[in-house]
Amino acid sequence: MHSVPVILGLTVLTVLLISPSQVIGWRPYPPKTNGSDQIFGGSKKFEGSSNLVSLRYHMGPVLTNNITVHPIWYGTWQKSQKKIIREFINSISAVGSKHPSVSGWWKTVQLYTDQTGSNITGTVRLGEEKNDRFYSHGKSLTRLSIQSVIKSAVASRSRPLPVNPKSGLYLLLTADDVYVQDFCGQVCGFHYFTFPSIVGFTLPYAWVGNSAKFCPGVCAYPFAVPEFIPGIKPVKSPNGDVGVDGMISVIAHEIAELATNPLVNAWYAGPDPVAPVEIADLCEGIYGTGGGGSYTGQMLNDDRGATYNVNGIRRRFLIQWLWNHVVSYCTGPNKLD
């Protein structure tokens, strides 16, 4: 096992405001640009440190209660694909994983508090799941029809998902033959909360799509590389599935931001509450020590040559670092006691 430095193109913050649903979106690849490193500067000591960052607490709720993640599997999924995603979610609160670990990465999320001083929970568990294998709302979804899919899952006559506004997190995962509005061109995943007028409840949710058929070079980067980055080879994915391994990084990004900003009125930077820059956005493109500007930082290789940066219960994953508001720079997994 040895560290592998990888050079990327310029990474910029990508936050998207879309009317009427106003969801926050993200994509992991470096966009086309001829500019210089504008956001993070050239620091290699304090990963992504910047005097431009002003992350503040805006008095809204965070997820201090134990979090239950409810996956909604939309479309056709292989058992092996579901297993990879389930094991990542179960690894967030796992005890005994080898450092650097997913649970050590979550320690940065736990540093964030609400107005009473209560920290975000350290317990994230996999809850009840829902399969929508017959594409109940078609193979092309809008941002609003995504909320209709969630409504179908919680209002189903057969084994509906439980409604839990305080600690439930609803994770809609679309298969590789499902297109979602603005997928690939602008976003790879997003989070927001459901509208009572559509779903009947206000529930924190995230959507992440499998990009394997549509745009792996955009949303499964660096396991696939976009055409506009010549001379860069993709790295080998740790679980042998480029689309799903790419999804893991986006899932991690969205869960961390849902925990710290579930109603878009808690922890974020920037003056505009409807277009916030959140704790994962601030570290976009940073996967290891020394990351910043156009450099990912050092990542790890296993004995098969696959690239990762965290250990789970039985698997390895590649996920980006998070903004640590205590020290004001991006940090990776903490070593657990």
Q: What is the pTM of this model?
A: 0.87
Q: How far apart are CA 335 and CA 337, in angstroms?
A: 7
Inter-residue contact 137 to 117 (CB < 8 Å)? no
Has residue 13 been placed in a domain? no
Domain that holds residue 285: 55-331
Inter-residue contact 196 to 231 (CB < 8 Å)? no
Q: pLDDT by residue for the chain (337 residues), tens digit each?
A: 433 333 332 222 233 333 333 455 655 654 443 333 322 222 222 334 444 568 999 999 999 999 999 999 999 999 999 999 999 999 999 999 999 999 999 999 999 999 999 999 999 999 999 999 999 999 999 999 999 999 999 999 999 999 999 999 999 999 999 999 999 988 999 999 999 999 999 999 999 999 999 999 999 989 999 888 788 889 999 999 999 999 999 999 999 999 999 999 999 998 877 778 999 999 988 999 988 766 778 999 999 999 999 999 999 999 999 999 999 999 999 987 5
Has residue 37 been placed in a domain? no
In degrees, to the nearest 5, what angle opens at C-alpha 220 toward C-alphas 219 and 225? Answer: 95
Has residue 18 been placed in a domain? no
Has residue 33 been placed in a domain? no
Over residues 205-257, the pLDDT tens digits come to 999 999 999 999 999 989 999 888 788 889 999 999 999 999 999 999 999 99
Has residue 38 been placed in a domain? no
What is the helix (H) or strand (E) element at residue 25, kind and residue range? Answer: strand 24-26
Has residue 29 been placed in a domain? no
Has residue 80 been placed in a domain? yes
Q: How far, rounded to the nearest angstrom, does the alpha carbon of residue 263 sit from its chain's CA centroid?
A: 16
CA end-to-end span of the chain, whole Å?
23
Nearby residues of 248 by Cβ (< 8 Å), 6 or more positions away? 84, 85, 88, 317, 318, 319
Has residue 10 been placed in a domain? no
Q: How far apart are CA 273 and CA 294, in angstroms?
A: 28
Indicate the number of domains in the chain: 1
